[in-house]
Chains A and B, each alone.
Chain A
């Protein structure tokens, strides 16, 4: 057994354009989108009939029949059917966590190459039957005699026809993620203006990335969509300022413009050992060198729901003996503009860093010009499971393309349930 740990190469990724809920992908299932995206990656890296070590993917909103979603998707691609697969789910951290799992197996010589992917549809969402009705049907199934069955059937009530829709709410607080983010925005004293500025910047940067051709080999057209449907290249502060608050009450600061919309889409990333990459030819874009998850107690209001990445990153920095300023790119998932701004303010705040993060000194400010340089979720949209792959592929390419000596990028993704997933990508 080889006890050394290998470096893990990111060779590249693809995604389909992200669509808004009930947009062009309204009738596409998770499996449709994931299969198409995996196949696009197969084509990009000539993986036809290849047996890969593993494919790991996940979706946040999933039908119960999709228990083996990734395996079923793999069987629909041109990969060798002997390629193993499994599903993961860590809310919005799913895509990045999938990559971490693949990377760890590569590092430990358990596999040589694998695909990390993620997908989500908010349009083709699972609808469950009413919980009371479900229990009655199960009782019915367990009944042994006709009399017993009749007794169960008489308990059915008309209101039990109303189905269970998936809710974007935290089970333990009953608050939507947007309402949680509004609490954070209030806790950190965020203004509407600074949130709108971040949203505007996200749209401008994504539009510029498209115009510069940066996304040409990262985004593969799907069902007639060529660019992210949510992108508004011509939006302005004035237009954003006209939107009414949607979270945090009438004098709230969060709008549809500075929050991500419900979206549909998929992404996939190819990771491999350096040996595998050398043998197969594709250049190494970046190394996934380290990762860290964290969680916070948002239930008892000890911490904001989406603040977990602020806890994960200092651990990454300490383990790698880096400062927050030692990065050339910062990819902070824009679930809401408020999440990004709260995160940055928290890292600059001496009180937060001392009291919550138990650091002697604040992590300090970052150079905002290095933040989400090719746009973020506010512009692109955020199909939950697909965001991690979008970010890894974009950051790896940015590191590979850059000729200004940049070496390192930080990924920070917040997730439901008070979770955070973070990672470091480094240039060869």
Chain B
């Protein structure tokens, strides 16, 4: 889907006009290409005194071969030495103006009081204007509910406001995220830090993600193909976001079992054969669908590792004009079917340990939307699934998360009236719509076995939309 305004705004004249008139200036976001490094450009790492996440963060930076920098007297420097990270020196007092970073990573876990929040200011104040295009600001912190002391819990919670505001200020296609890491989960941040550093998270911004202690982490992982040898079920796979999800999971090494309506069998068949996967034609709302799915997965693959509940429909009408059929069609597909399928799969122990379930929610489910009472209900209910079952699944070593896309350039949004579409597109920090790939990459991160500590999260893929924020 072409975004002509963005193309225009990125011409020399367009840049001048948007700046003079104060129009949104969307930049072309960098997106991941296979074989690319996790991050291309220098990373500045800092840590508040007494922080505990600099060590795992430096280990990740060393593993991805990042060109790291720290201040000489920074808490993180010792960690860098331990991780054998040959970090260069950065001194904000002396650095020339043109010294810029692709990412700023700040370990705020040591901040134990509101006064100590000054540490976050001290790190970001001289550096926030040194973030490059499509850059990253990542704050690592301690999950507030797991802080022993109230002042620490309050200060850690306060970081949400900081990070969400930084995401709105940073500009030029850069994003900001807050990663809460539970005590003891330090070693589980690898996949999450990689995802948020990389162009894979292009359209995710202003998000707060919680990483807890996983039941187990994979001993070894091939970061180019983290899903090698895994089986992934994707519902609604034939088109749009579902197609993109299937492609990305296959790229990451998974055997994709694509599910869609019999009416879409040609598209589905073409996709799964291209991806070296297999297809199953069924309507997820059919009474027999869960049984059929489970039986197929067990027979053909001896189970499944990744389940993506993507199948969804809309039947937009204001509530007063909405028929019962319109109501039910949406609730049945979007909310009831995932529950029935999960119940059957887990009852038959079809989901393997270290697996993951990802549901596709929507920003509408968070914010509500006029004309979409049915859809918003179903998508809010999806978040309910996450909240209801994640702790049960955690005991089985299976994660359960949701992604909530905002404005994504698809055939569905292309059909919107121009004025509404433009407004929806621009009303986010990145001033543009996302692409199906952005949703797919986010799901692939959650499906990665190394993300075993990431559960019960609802991650918005919305460019930090103003709606529902």
Contact = CB atoms under 8 A, between A and B. Distances in A.
A192 B88 CA distance: 19
Interface string A322-360: 000000000000000000000001001111011110000
Contacts of A190: 91, 94
B81 A253 contact: no
A186 B90 CA distance: 9
Interface in B65-87: 70-72, 77-78, 80-82, 84-87
A282 interface: no
A104 B49 CA distance: 50
B75 to A, nearest CB: 11
B95 interface: yes
A348 B72 CA distance: 9
Contacts of A356: 86
Contact of B96 (A186, A353, A355): A186
A351 B96 contact: no
A186 B82 CA distance: 24
B93 interface: yes
Contacts of B91: 188-191
A330 to B, nearest CB: 20
B84 A251 contact: no
A139 interface: no
A187 interface: yes
Nearest to A249: B96
B72 A349 contact: yes
B89 interface: yes
A187 B88 contact: yes
A349 B80 CA distance: 11
Contact of B89 (A188, A251, A355): A188
A353 B72 CA distance: 13
Interface size range of chain A in the complex:
10 to 19
Contacts of B81: 350-351, 353-355
Interface residues of B, number: 21
Contacts of B90: 189
A345 B90 CA distance: 13
Nearest to A195: B94
B94 A350 contact: no
B84 A189 contact: no
Given A189-B95, A191-B94, A349-B77, A354 B88 contact: no
Contact of B93 (A191, A251, A355): A191
A148 B128 CA distance: 71
Contact of B72 (A185, A189, A251, A253): A189
A241 B177 CA distance: 42
Interface in A91-145: none
Nearest to B99: A186
A182 to B, nearest CB: 11
Contacts of A353: 81
Nearest to A362: B81
A190 B90 CA distance: 9
Contact of B85 (A187, A189, A345, A351): A351
Name the prevailing secondary structure of the A interface residues.
Answer: helix
A345 B88 CA distance: 12
Nearest to A356: B86
A251 B96 contact: yes
A19 B222 CA distance: 65
Interface in A354-377: 354-356
B99 to A, nearest CB: 9
Select the residue from A188, A189, A349 with max chain B CB neighbours within 10 A. Answer: A189
B86 A189 contact: no
Contacts of B71: 189
B166 to A, nearest CB: 24
Contacts of A351: 70, 77, 80-81, 85-87
B77 A189 contact: no
Contacts of A350: 77-78, 80-82
Given A188-B89, A345-B72, A349-B77, A354 B96 contact: no
Contacts of B93: 189, 191
Contacts of A186: 94, 96
Contacts of A189: 71-72, 89-91, 93-95
Contacts of B96: 186, 251
Contacts of B88: 187
Interface string B421-446: 00000000000000000000000000
Interface in A153-211: 185-192
Interface in A246-274: 251, 253
A350 to B, nearest CB: 4
A231 B91 CA distance: 31
Given A349-B72, A349-B77, A350-B78, A187 B84 contact: no
Interface string A65-108: 00000000000000000000000000000000000000000000
Contacts of A348: 72
Interface string B95-133: 111000000000000000000000000000000000000
A351 B96 CA distance: 22
B300 to A, nearest CB: 51
A187 B87 CA distance: 11
Interface string B181-203: 00000000000000000000000
Nearest to B79: A350
A355 B84 contact: yes
Nearest to B87: A351
Contacts of B87: 351
A311 to B, nearest CB: 15
Given A350-B82, A351-B70, 6 more contacts: A189-B89, A251-B96, A253-B94, A349-B77, A351-B86, A355-B81
Interface of A: 185-192, 251, 253, 345, 348-351, 353-356
Interface of B: 70-72, 77-78, 80-82, 84-91, 93-97
10 contacts: A189-B90, A189-B94, A191-B91, A191-B94, A253-B94, A348-B72, A350-B78, A350-B80, A350-B81, A355-B86
